[in-house]
Amino acid sequence: MEKRGELYRGKAKTVFATDDPERLILEFRNDTSAFDGERIEQLDRKGMVNNKFNNFIMAKLESAGIPTQLDKVLSENESLVKKLKMIPVECVVRNISAGSLCRRLGVEEGMDLTPPTFEFFLKNDALHDPMINESHIMTFGWATAEQLERMKELTYQVNSTLQTMFAEAGMLLVDSKLEFGVDSDGEVILGDEFTPDGCRLWDKETRNKLDKDRFRQGLGGVVEAYEEVARRLGVKLD
């Protein structure tokens, strides 16, 4: 597999073309950002940890019948993925109140949400990823009604699968952000990544934060927390 030109550079990942028109290379960098990229720092080992963590999670989801973009890990910080036409909509599912939900609705952090809440956001940093609804999505052509239904179905499947897995490892899956794309056959596929960059994870007993909130809130020990999550799950980092 030959790596070719850079196609897209995000806040923490870079996407490269390959000599296969149906495959891309996803590079996980050490960059760590918050507040729509207003704060960026380099954290040693983070790219490697997220790359291997993502591979572990996607394999678990595939075994649960959830189609994902990932093909295989290529190196410490690179993975081969299927080329998708990404849908510019983020699906957020919340099991416990935290983050923007608390700020928007004035609810206390740490409330169990039964049933979990589901929200759509437009993937647009310049607009600060505004919340949108199904009417917006279909009117502006970001996704079809059928694609939205499949995205919601897969989001809940991912949430249920990973809630159980993290609970068995002594952690709470507070919330997560998922992105989807469409493959060459028109199938909706889970894309992008699943790492502590895009979800909230708390220790089940202490409720200590084990995700990117450690960076957002200046708590320190970001990569160490990611490595602790990986260790509890059995992810091989070395």
Q: For residues 8-28, give the mean pLDDT.
A: 96
The predicted pLDDT at position 34 comes to 81
Q: Where are the alpha helices (DSSP H) in 133-234?
A: 134-139, 145-168, 213-216, 222-233
Euclidean distance between CA atoms 201 and 212, whole angstroms: 9
Cα(196)–Cα(169) distance, rounded to whole angstroms? 15
Share above pLDDT 90 across residues of the chain, in percent, rounded to a whole number = 95
* CATH numbers and ranges of domains, the chain: 3-82 (3.30.200.20), 85-221 (3.30.470.20)
146 Cβ neighbours under 8 A, 6+ residues apart: none
pLDDT for res 37: 65
Instruction: Give 37-65 as a DSSP string.
Output: TTEEEE-TTHHHHHHHHHHHHHHHHHHTT
In tens, the pLDDT along 69-113 reads 999 999 999 999 999 999 999 999 999 999 999 999 999 999 999
Kindly indicate the confidence band of residue 228, based on its pLDDT and cuts at 50, 70 and 90. very high
Give residue-wise pLDDT tens across range 133-156. 999 999 999 999 999 999 999 999
Q: Tokens 């996980």 label which residue?
A: 28
Here the tokens at position 71 are 């093909």
First to last CA, the chain: 24
Section 212-234 average pLDDT: 97
